[in-house]
Amino acid sequence: MDLRVIFVVGKGGVGKTTCAAAVAFSVSKDSNTLIVSLDPAHNLGDVFGTPLSGKAREIKENLWGLEVDMEAAIKDYLEKSSRKLKDMYGYLKAINIEGYLDTIRLSPGIEEYATLEAIEQIISEGQKKYEVIVFDTPPTGLTLRVLALPKVSLIWGERLVRLRKEILSKRLAIEKIQGEKKFVLEGREFKLSTREEKDEVMQELLSYMKEVGRVEELQTDAKRCMVMPVMNPDRLSLFETRRAFDTLEKLAMPIGAVVVNKFSGKEDEIEIITKAELELRKPIRKIPLLEREPVGMNAIEKFSSYLRVEEWLPQSRK
Amino acid sequence: MKLQSVWRFVKDFEGGLRSRSTEYVEFELREMENIFSLLLVGSFIGIPSPPSNISIKLMPYVVREMYVMGRRAGDMDDISGEIFGLFAP
């Protein structure tokens, strides 16, 4: 099964969740679809009028939804790592590993890493079951940082692999003259690996790069991935969308249609839309300012007709 | 008995030569291991570091490198002594 992924991005409050729900509703007509909310302030369940949790739940035929609990994801992510760390460094009091972990927990950026881990996990588990995964993302700033992470991680990974290779080759040279070397620290013995295939650091690095590489490859493949920016017909929203476009282009991420939500037809709004068409050079989908909030399945179905998803979303290669 | 002593002397002499021949490479290796650890936890002292998730993933396997970094920090006040020690006869 060919998995296609859609990221719905935009400034806080523009209506990303409703648009994501509408896209998911549209594609679920002929593809098994999962919609995932990554926004720490979830309201995906409210939009569909059905409670959602951290476990995928069927919303209607072919459409599943889940809300990732980011707090729990961060906790899980750190706990997994800290268990291994404490085991290895428990006796090295000088390094104060507990303090290190507490600092990481509060360090800027940890939310982005946890979000990326969540995306990786959902994609790798979801590709057996779903044909389309729609991500309703947190506001633009955080999302763009998350989307940039695979590229940054790959650059760092390559550098560390290069340095590690040099370390291993030096160790091997020493081993050839002096025989196998062991490192003993407070009674515990560590064998110093000299070969890439036996070096845990190298293996961990390579497997991480493979994982991240898969996400990066998917992100930049226009046949499998699409970003759908959502904005409101106002100046600030246009500025932010333009900045998001710059970053997405640098990351070589394919961009689908731009949704202009809550369009009331005023003259200045028409002006903004004309500007958006000229500057962004992408299909624009105008969604009128509705009298009632689009909540519930019928409203979402009606809302989805404005998006005409089939015109810009890459078709499945089933 | 005498032969054994001679043999031991030859072995020790050979061992001495072997360790002497790798001294420079070992020094270089320690430096690299130190740099590797510094990169992983460098964000604490303002060195550009990889994303924290890479550091967290690798930390359990770099006990030796962290130890070398700790020792290196301790020996910082006598770094020239260590370098000149390499050239001692």
Q: State pTM to two decimals.
A: 0.80
Compute the distance between CA of residue A46 and CA of residue A61 in angstroms, rounded to an integer.
18
Mean pLDDT computed over B42-60: 81
CB neighbour class for A43 (10 Å; exposed up to 12, middle 13-18, buried from 19): middle
pLDDT, tens digit (0-9, with 9 covering 90-100), for A21-66:
999 999 999 899 999 999 877 889 999 999 998 899 999 999 999 9
Contact A104 B56 (CB under 8 A): yes
Buried b (16+ CB within 10 A) or exposed e, A116-126: bbbbbebbeeb
Contacts of A139 (CB under 8 A, 6+ apart): A10, A11, A12, A39
Contact A160 B67 (CB under 8 A): no
pLDDT at A91 over 60: no
What tokens were used for A214?
A: 């898969």
Domain membership of residue A76 (yes or no) is: yes
Closest CA to A133 of A36, A213, A50, A20: A36
Domain membership of residue A317 (yes or no) is: no
Contact A190 B64 (CB under 8 A): yes
Q: What is the ipTM of this complex?
A: 0.79
Q: Is there a contact between A34 and A121 (Cβ–Cβ < 8 Å)? A: no
Contacts of A59 (CB under 8 A, 6+ apart): A35, A48, A50, A52, A65
Task: Sketch the domain layout of chain B as residue ranges.
Answer: 24-87
The CATH number assigned to the domain holding A245 equals: 3.40.50.300
Out of A84, A94, A156, whose CB is closest to B51? A156
Closest CA to A45 of A63, A10, A21, A19: A21
What tokens were used for A256?
A: 């689908």
Contact B50 A113 (CB under 8 A): no
Q: Which of A174, A181, A192, A206 to mutate to test the interface with B (most CBs of B within 10 A)?
A: A174
CA B62 to chain CA centroid, Å, is 13
Contact B18 A85 (CB under 8 A): no
Position with higher pLDDT, B82 vs A17:
A17
Q: Percentage of chain B surpassing pLDDT 70?
A: 88
Out of B59, B63, B70, whose CB is closest to A190? B63
Query: A-chain residues within 8 Å CB-CB of B26?
Result: 174
Domain that holds residue A35: 4-311
CB contact A169 to B (< 8 Å): no
Count of domains observed in chain A: 1
Q: Is there a contact between A262 and A289 (Cβ–Cβ < 8 Å)? A: yes
Domain membership of residue A31 (yes or no) is: yes
Compute the distance between CA of residue A221 and CA of residue A203 in angstroms, rounded to an integer.
27
Q: How many other C-beta atoms are found inside a 10 Å radius of the C-beta of residue A193?
A: 20
pLDDT, tens digit (0-9, with 9 covering 90-100), for A101-158:
666 666 667 778 888 888 888 998 998 899 999 999 988 888 998 999 999 899 999 9
Q: What is the pLDDT of residue B89?
A: 59
Domain membership of residue A316 (yes or no) is: no
Contact B60 A84 (CB under 8 A): yes
